[in-house]
Structure 1
Amino acid sequence: MSLEWLQRVFGAKVLQFVMILFTYETEEECNTIKDDLKRNPDLKQLLEKCGGRYLTCNKMMNNQSEMRDLMKKIEHLFNENQQQCYTGEMPNTASIRKKKLESSEHQCGHTSEMESNAHLNLILLGKKRAGKSASGNTILGREVFMSKKSSKSVTRDAAVKSGTVNGFPVTVYDTPGFYDPKMGTEEIQKILDKVLLKCESGPCAFLLVIKADSFTEEEIKTVEKIEKLLGEERLNKTWILFTRGDELQEENITINEFINDTEALKKLIQKYDQQFHVLNNKIKGHSDQARLLLVKILQRSFGIK
């Protein structure tokens, strides 16, 4: 997905300047990467697209030998390209070519939803204090939504912020909390309708935010209310997003154990065809958990491998 995005933005020639850097924390992880490179056909295909150029590297980048190897490989890549680097002229040329191609595809009507819109809309839904705003911050890797512990719902209208997850453009919509006594169903419906009008012209996924500490009667009713507002046709693009993953880690409980411990929650996950993800919103900045969420959504909801 990242390589396809690179080519869309910078043109096909960009791949001759790309090298894959596999990072690891332990030697065991490093060995696993090397084993995967031999067995995994997707990784082999990825490397082939990049001319077989790769290096394994400790995440802390404190191994001097690896750093020397990296510098040598970069120098070799530079020489392979006849001592040329990627230049600003290349994306300009690619942009012109892309516009022509998109115009041609539009006329032919063969462009798929995700191909013509290299962008994903994510709509956060749930009861107040479920962690929607904090989840939006985690997904975008920065503090953009107001998030605090309070008896009041922080978001009174839909807040919209855009950014990238591993280079892939996303727009996140943070909606008011359902079952907020100060907001009626009609008011929430109007806000949601406005959001749908803005974002559903492109690829869109709905994230139903639930705290991973209990699944109460109020949460069950919240889910039913959201399902009614969304309509049956949008359920296949709806995901359960669990927050408070940090508490599960502290209690040494897996998300599957938490789900299976509550029959109503177990049935809910089955209903949504196992479309769920868990976030630890205490991890600040860009993190792998947001990337994994995006990959799951693109693969399951839009068929992008």
Structure 2
Amino acid sequence: MGYRYSGKSSSGNIILNREEFDLKRTDQCVKRQREVADRHITVIEAPGWWIDVPVDQSSELLKKEILLSVSLCPVLRHVVLLVIRADIRFKEDKRNVFQGYVDLLSERVWSHTIVLFTHGDFLGDTSIEQHIESEGEDLQWLVEKCGNRYHVLNNKNRSDVTQIIDLLEKIEETVMKNNCCHFELLQQVKEKRRAEEEKAESQMSECETPKLSELRIVLMGYKGAGKSSSGNIILNREEFDLKRTDQCVKRQREVADRHITVIEAPGWWIDEPVDQSSELLKQEILLSVSLCPPGPHVVLLVIRADIIFKEDERKAFQGYVDLLGERVWSHTIVLFTHGDFLGDTSIEQHIESEGEDLQWLVEKCGIRYHVLNNKNRSDDTQIKDLLEKIKETVMKNSGFHFEMDGNILQMMEEKKQAEEERAKGRMKRMSERREKNRSQMSDSHHLSELRIVLMGCRRAGKSSVGNIILNREAFDLKRTDQCVKRQREVADRHITVIEAPGWWWKPVEQISEILQQEILLSVTLCPPGPHVVLLVICVEHRFTVNDREAFQAYVDLLGERVWSHTIVLFTHGDFLGDTSIEQHIESEGEDLQWLVEKCGNRYHVLNYKNRSDDTQIKDLLEKIEETVTQNNGCHFEIDRKILQELEESTAEGQRAKERRKKMHKSRSQISE
């Protein structure tokens, strides 16, 4: 049991020592069996929940399958493994979520549970006990609720059979503690599908419609929903690049004697309300319906069938669609992707089981919906059926396409022009500052040595940045909770790069002491100190007040003086398309603008997918040298008082040792 992406399928494969579980997600239980080490082992993988979605907000279908999981091995149910990634922060919201799902099986199940940590390679030299201590009281509560039973798997070292032997021993010890009894669910689980089937009625009416020689389609939805894949299926060719972009993409093709135009609007983050999104995104969504004049016949709202759809998602969809005006709803169809996830569940059953929010959206679209199985693209009937539904939608609108109000388009143009003017001003200020710095540097050679520290949240791209700077795969892209140091000669310079471990988007006071210590340690690993600290930010990620507060808090750990040595480094520059980085900064709003200005208006953007362009690194190194010049040729050096506090912070390690002793003592008593 566990949340999605926790590593349940991989753990099952490691336990059975064979690729028995498909790594794709499903909303149904999967059962696999095999003889391993003279044991007949049965493993049931229950479908996962979204990491922060509580049980009362999950679908009835999911809850039913979790209850069903313990009845699929009717002879013996020895243990429930609660699967948790060691590289993901575990706080109160996740603890409450775990408790809710486990409690579905009744209170007695806790005596049969073991916490199974996956991605153990992330820990590096940190013991699992230290990790548990550093995460705080919420993870400690879960481990203690499970009788202090836990195990860690290194998914990348599957040849190490001792980790599975040790796990099986812990399972046997758990059975011994329960007097050799297995867990049995007293509550009878009755299938709800039959009731859902009765509730879900056939909602598509058959009607004769004339053939349209041309179809104009706009795809809208959140990031990762499958808009690009849907466009490729509709056009029956790889027309859309699957990489994300913040600009509209238009593709056309003759398909089945029709001229089809498909516009993909850029997506929003799944639960991000429209009032928190960038002006750039809103402008592009408005632009999408004007790129296929005189207007689209239909707007397809793309939703993944394997993702829970609740109030936040509903409000986000409503907000973004309403940008186009109320009339657009009569031209919309809900398009579900990842239909393979449903298995034997019909799309009507899925809509019913998800609850009132998804039902509201489907009804707002006039009960028009369709489902695509992206993994069965050879089935052309699914597209033929979709095109028929589009034709029916056009007929319901008396043969008319959707046309947006001219006043809305005019307001969009005025906003866009204002942002472009501000972006030009920012670019001009940066150019003037760089010219001034270059004039001061004109009589000096470039630095023969550069020391760089990379800081930022997880998944921002710090490791990739280090590899691009050093022009070699020096950093492993896997995450770690410890600093990593790499060096190399590049362009006649000796370059040292320190990657500090990243943080999740949480306030600094909620983060472990180990992480704070590692961030402090990062600036001491390149003595006498770094020339620059690069604050790494992914341009795809919406930068909000929470991000601003997190960056400020983590950088302030190093002292106020560090800000004069910092540069904001944007990654995933390919996402911007034709948008300049200055336009992006302006469109994101005051929080990102504050950070850039706090760093003295020093910023740079990297395009990972164009690593052959060495000018982007050359330009970055020049900006670093200009920063050093602005600091009178001095590097950054951390205050000695801060270092002293770092050296004295050892209490956490002692607590971890005590926990390890406690576990060994418990296991010794069982053996006796």
- TM-score band (shorter)? 0.5 to 0.7
Task: Measure how far apart 1:196 and its partner are.
Answer: 2.0
**1:236 paired residue number:** 564
Letter in 1 for 2:586: N
Q: Does 1:167 align with 2:495?
A: no
What is the SS of the residue equivalent to 2:557?
helix
Question: Any stretches of 5+ residues in structure 2 without a counterpart?
Answer: 1-437, 634-672
**2:462 paired residue number:** 132
C-alpha separation in 2, matches of 1:292 and 1:238: 16
What is the SS of the residue equivalent to 2:594?
helix
Q: Does 1:258 align with 2:584?
A: yes
Tell me, yes or no, if the aligned pair for 1:165 and 1:290 is still in contact at 8 Å: no
C-alpha separation in 2, matches of 1:299 and 1:226: 24
**2:503 paired residue number:** 178
Task: Measure how far apart 1:300 and its partner are.
Answer: 2.5
Task: Measure how far apart 1:136 and its partner are.
Answer: 0.8
Task: Measure how far apart 1:285 and its partner are.
Answer: 5.6
Task: Measure how far apart 1:198 and its partner are.
Answer: 2.4
Tell me, yes or no, if the aligned pair for 1:125 and 1:207 is still in contact at 8 Å: yes
Aligned pairs (5 A) from 1:26-175:
118-147=448-477, 154-175=479-500
Tell me, yes or no, if the aligned pair for 1:211 and 1:244 is still in contact at 8 Å: yes
Deviation string 1:187-244 (CA, Å, 9 cap, x unpaired) is 1222123222222404521011111122134422321222221210111001111111
Structure of greater relative contact order (alpha carbons < 8 Å, 6+ residues apart): 1
**2:599 paired residue number:** 272
Tell me, yes or no, if the aligned pair for 2:532 and 2:565 is still in contact at 8 Å: yes
Tell me, yes or no, if the aligned pair for 1:209 and 1:240 is still in contact at 8 Å: yes
What is the SS of the residue equivalent to 1:160?
strand
C-alpha separation in 1, matches of 2:530 and 2:452: 9
Tell me, yes or no, if the aligned pair for 1:140 and 1:165 is still in contact at 8 Å: yes
Tell me, yes or no, if the aligned pair for 1:210 and 1:241 is still in contact at 8 Å: yes
C-alpha separation in 1, matches of 2:567 and 2:499: 15
Q: Does 1:211 align with 2:538?
A: yes
- Which structure has the bigger radius of gyration? 2
CA pair 286-119 structure 1, distance change in 2 beyond 3 A: farther
Tell me, yes or no, if the aligned pair for 1:206 and 1:237 is still in contact at 8 Å: yes
C-alpha separation in 1, matches of 2:586 and 2:553: 23
Tell me, yes or no, if the aligned pair for 1:140 and 1:286 is still in contact at 8 Å: no
C-alpha separation in 2, matches of 1:161 and 1:300: 22
Deviation string 1:121-145 (CA, Å, 9 cap, x unpaired) is 1111011111111111111111111
Tell me, yes or no, if the aligned pair for 2:531 and 2:628 is still in contact at 8 Å: no
Letter in 2 for 1:245: G
What is the SS of the residue equivalent to 2:475?
coil
> Higher mean Cα deviation, 259-268 or 217-226?
217-226
Q: Does 1:291 align with 2:613?
A: no
C-alpha separation in 2, matches of 1:221 and 1:256: 22
C-alpha separation in 2, matches of 1:291 and 1:206: 17
Shift >4 Å, 4+ stretches = none
Match of 2:526 among 183, 186, 199: 199
CA pair 286-170 structure 1, distance change in 2 beyond 3 A: farther
Tell me, yes or no, if the aligned pair for 2:461 and 2:571 is still in contact at 8 Å: yes
**2:61 paired residue number:** none
Match of 1:245 among 554, 558, 573: 573
C-alpha separation in 1, matches of 2:491 and 2:591: 34
- The number of residue pairs the alignment matches comes to 188
C-alpha separation in 1, matches of 2:602 and 2:505: 26
CA pair 245-229 structure 1, distance change in 2 beyond 3 A: same
C-alpha separation in 2, matches of 1:267 and 1:184: 23
Task: Measure how far apart 1:159 and its partner are.
Answer: 0.9
C-alpha separation in 2, matches of 1:295 and 1:179: 31
C-alpha separation in 2, matches of 1:198 and 1:147: 20
CA RMSD between the two structures: 3.1
Task: Measure how far apart 1:167 and its partner are.
Answer: 2.1
Task: Measure how far apart 1:274 and its partner are.
Answer: 1.0
Q: Could you tell me the percent identity over the aligned residues?
A: 33
C-alpha separation in 1, matches of 2:505 and 2:598: 26
> Higher mean Cα deviation, 280-289 or 137-146?
280-289
Tell me, yes or no, if the aligned pair for 1:141 and 1:287 is still in contact at 8 Å: no
Tell me, yes or no, if the aligned pair for 2:485 and 2:525 is still in contact at 8 Å: no
**1:282 paired residue number:** 609
Task: Measure how far apart 1:273 and its partner are.
Answer: 1.4
Tell me, yes or no, if the aligned pair for 1:130 and 1:209 is still in contact at 8 Å: yes
Letter in 2 for 1:299: E
What is the SS of the residue equivalent to 1:176?
coil
C-alpha separation in 1, matches of 2:505 and 2:543: 18
Tell me, yes or no, if the aligned pair for 2:570 and 2:604 is still in contact at 8 Å: yes
Letter in 2 for 1:176: P
Letter in 2 for 1:260: E
Task: Measure how far apart 1:180 and its partner are.
Answer: 7.4
**1:220 paired residue number:** 548
C-alpha separation in 2, matches of 1:225 and 1:245: 26
Deviation string 1:102-154 (CA, Å, 9 cap, x unpaired) is xxxxxxxxxx9x99x83111111011111111111111111111226xxxxx1
> Higher mean Cα deviation, 289-298 or 222-231?
222-231
**2:425 paired residue number:** none
CA pair 227-233 structure 1, distance change in 2 beyond 3 A: same
What is the SS of the residue equivalent to 2:533?
strand
Greater helix content:
1
CA pair 223-202 structure 1, distance change in 2 beyond 3 A: closer
Tell me, yes or no, if the aligned pair for 1:141 and 1:285 is still in contact at 8 Å: no
Tell me, yes or no, if the aligned pair for 1:138 and 1:286 is still in contact at 8 Å: no
Task: Measure how far apart 1:247 and its partner are.
Answer: 0.8
**1:6 paired residue number:** none
TM-score calculated relative to the size of structure 2: 0.26
Letter in 2 for 1:188: L
